[in-house]
Amino acid sequence: MRTAIEGGAVGTGRGEIAIELRRRFRASPDRVFRAWTEPSALRKWWSPPGWTAGKIEIDLRPGGAYRIEMSRSGGDDRVGVCGEFLEVAPPRRLVYTWTWESAFAGMGPTLVTVEFESVPDGTLVILRHEKFVDLGLRHLHRTGWIAACNRLDQMVTPTGELYRHLAG
């Protein structure tokens, strides 16, 4: 199964900039959805190299809030991302706002939509992150999402640690 990420920048026609990525995972939609939404699973794949996941809070319901904190290993740098779930339809779809704390000063709230489609041998994730007003920020987030999906793939594949965790 091909696991490469496809997609890139997408214009919305309203002066905003969006990212749309498509990625296949060799795991069921339920397993990938749970990895995306359970704090114990997020802790294992969310943070980039050199960062450690901190407090993770998820109230997985429309109107519920989430907050994910990270700190730089060996340093005092701490950042977080938080927002509100607008749509929660396990294991098919998530829509939520995205706001950085202590990072990307001046960047307003953005919107993330994640769809989990069942395909032969796994799940196709379609991720759309929109409402960027700066191409540089869009590029940084695209790079971050690709790296995060690579880490997630390592965790949800049948040989991954998270696979065994979510199987129970």
Q: Specify the long-range contacts of residues 7-10, CB closer than 8 Å, at least 24 apart.
A: 8/142, 9/135, 9/138, 9/142, 10/128, 10/130
- Name the residue ranges covered by the structural domains of the chain: 6-167
* pLDDT of 12 strictly over 50: no
Q: Tens digits of per-residue pLDDT, 83-137?
A: 999 999 999 999 999 998 877 777 889 999 999 999 999 999 999 999 998 899 9
The string of pLDDT tens digits covering residues 43-83 is 999 988 888 899 999 999 999 999 999 988 877 788 999 99
Q: Is the pTM of this model over 0.75?
A: yes
Q: Can you read off the two tokens belonging to residue 157?
A: 């594949």
CATH superfamily entry for domain 6-167:
START domain (3.30.530.20)
| Beta-sheet strands, E only, within the chain | 6-11, 17-25, 51-58, 65-72, 78-89, 93-101, 110-119, 122-132
- What pLDDT does 73 receive? 81
